[in-house]
Amino acid sequence: MGLKVMFIHSGAGIGGAPVSMVTLAASLDPKLYDPHVVFTDNGPMIDISRQMGLKASVVKMRGVMAYGAHVPLSIKPVINFAIQFIPTIIKARQLIKTEKPDFIHLNTSALISIGIMARIAKVPIIWHIREVVNPGTLFGHLLARAICFLSYRVIAVSDHVAQCLPEGEKISVVHNPVNTSIFDPKYKKKYREKTNSLIGLSKRNLIIGILGSVQKEKGHFVLAEAARIIKKKFPQVVFLIVGGGAPEGYADTLRGRLKTFLRVPLDNQAKLNRVLSKIDLTEEFKSVGYQADVAPYVGSMDILVAPNIKPEGCPRSLLEAMSMSVPVVVSDIGPSREIMGDKCAYFCEPGNVLSLSSQLIALIESKVLRKQLGNAGRVRALSKFEVANHIEKIQNLYGSVSDEINSKSVMRQ
C-alpha cells in the first residue's frame, strides 16, 4: 500500500474547490498513494467521491475561519471559530490518531484549526490554497503567514494567489486542471439539444452562461443589468445560471423560517430573482441549480461569462469553457489573463455594466469571433491545463516531501 494521504475539505457542497480535490485524489497512482477524503459536514460531494471509488468520510469539525476576497471578516464567523476551536482540535486529533496519515492535504484556507492540530501531531501538511487569502488586509496577511508557518508545502492555484502569500521555498504554483476528454467540443451538439429540451429553448436562441453560486462578488447582479441592454437589441439571447443559492434544507432552518416570515430574500438566488422581476427579465434567465456534472451545460453555451467584481484563485469555469471551445467574456481581474492568455477571451472592466454588455454584444454579433476564441481556448486547455500534467506535478511534490522527511529521519538516527 502507498503513502496515506488524507484530504480534508470544509463542508461538502458542490463547488470548484471540492471537485478539484476529489479529481486529484481519484487520479493519484494507487501504487504510490492511498487517498482518503474527509468532509467537515454532510453534502453531495460525499456521494460523488464514493462514486469515483474514493474512501470518503464525514467528521463534523466546524471550527473554520473562512476569509478572503469573497468572504469579508465579520463578527459571527469569528465567534463561531472561537466556540468551535477546541471541539475541532479534539476531533482532528482523534481523526489523525485513528487514520495515521503520512500527509494531510488541506483543501481550503478555512481549515486553520485542523492545520494547528496537524502541526502539533507532527503530520506534514500540504496546504492547497484555491482562493485569494490575503486581499491586502492585516487579517489576511496574518492568515497567510499562519498557513505558511504550519505547512510543509503550500500549493497556490495561480501566480496571483501565490503573490498574496509570503515569499518562500514552500510555495509551488500548480494551476487547476480540466478533463479535456469530458469537456470535449465533439459533444457540443448533443449537449445543446439536451439543454434546449430541458429548459425549453430552440435553435435560434443564443445562450450566455454563468457558473457558480449566485454571489455579488461573482458578478451575477452586474450581468442582470447588462442583460437589460442586450435584450433590447437581441431578444433571442437567454442567460443560463448553473449554480444557486443557499444549500438544500436552509429554508427549514430557524434563520430560513425567520426570513420567510419577514418576507426577506432567503438567499442570493432569491435576491437575484427579485431584481430580475423588477427589470422584467425573469423569463430570459434560466437557472438549473447546482450540478454535479456541468459539462452538458458548458457544452450548450454559445458564450460563457465570468463577470467577477472580486478575484478568484483559478476558476474552473474558465478552464471548462476553454476545453469545450466556448468563447469567454471575463472580468480583467486577479488571474484572468494568467489563465486565459490574450487570445481566448474578451476582457471587461470589473463591475462595469457598459463594458460587460459591449464585450458580450461583440461576440453575439459575430459567430466568426466566437469560433476563433473558442478554438484558441481548446488549444490552450490541451497545452496547459490537462489533468495528467496536474497530477504529475502534485505527485512530484508529494515525492519530494516524502524524500525530505525520510532524509531527515535518517540524519536523526
| Coil/strand/helix, residue 306 | strand
Range with the lowest mean pLDDT among 13-27, 279-293, 398-412? Answer: 398-412
Look at residue 410 in the predicted model and tell me its pLDDT.
Answer: 47
Look at residue 385 in the predicted model and tell me its pLDDT.
Answer: 97
Look at residue 409 in the predicted model and tell me its pLDDT.
Answer: 55
Distance set, CA 401 to CA 34, 43, 104 (Å) = 16, 32, 12
Q: Is residue 362 scored above 90 in pLDDT?
A: yes
pLDDT 10s digits, 371-381: 999 999 999 99
Q: Write down the mean pLDDT value for the chain.
A: 93
Per-residue pLDDT averaged across 322-343, rounded?
97
pLDDT 10s digits, 6-35: 999 999 999 999 999 999 999 999 999 999
Look at residue 228 in the predicted model and tell me its pLDDT.
Answer: 96
DSSP-assigned states of every residue in 27-74: HS-TTTEEEEEEESS-SHHHHHHHHTT-EEEE---------SSSS---
Q: Is there a common fold for 3-177+386-412 and 185-384?
A: yes
Q: Is residue 247 scored above 50 in pLDDT?
A: yes
* For the chain, percent of residues with pLDDT exceeding 90: 84
Look at residue 149 in the predicted model and tell me its pLDDT.
Answer: 95
pLDDT 10s digits, 202-239: 989 999 999 999 999 999 999 999 999 999 999 999 99
Reported as a pLDDT band with limits 50, 70 and 90, residue 405 is confident
Question: pTM for this structure?
Answer: 0.92
Q: Nearest-CA neighbor of 246 among 209, 278, 271, 275? A: 271
Domain boundaries, the chain: 3-177+386-412, 185-384
Domain 185-384 has what CATH class? alpha beta
Q: What's the alpha-carbon Rg for the chain, to the nearest Å?
A: 22
Range with the lowest mean pLDDT among 75-79, 91-95, 215-219? Answer: 75-79
Q: Are 37 and 4 in contact (CB under 8 A)?
A: no
pLDDT 10s digits, 296-319: 999 999 999 999 999 999 999 999
Per-residue pLDDT averaged across 132-140, rounded?
89
Q: How many residues does the chain have?
A: 413
HEC states along 167-211? CCCCEEECCCCECCCCCCHHHHHHHHHHHHHHHCCCCCCEEEEEE
Distance set, CA 165 to CA 160, 395, 398 (Å) = 9, 22, 21
Q: Nearest-CA neighbor of 316 among 222, 216, 204, 212? A: 212
Report phi then psi at 127, rounded to 5. -105, 115
Look at residue 251 in the predicted model and tell me its pLDDT.
Answer: 75
Domain 3-177+386-412 has what CATH class? alpha beta
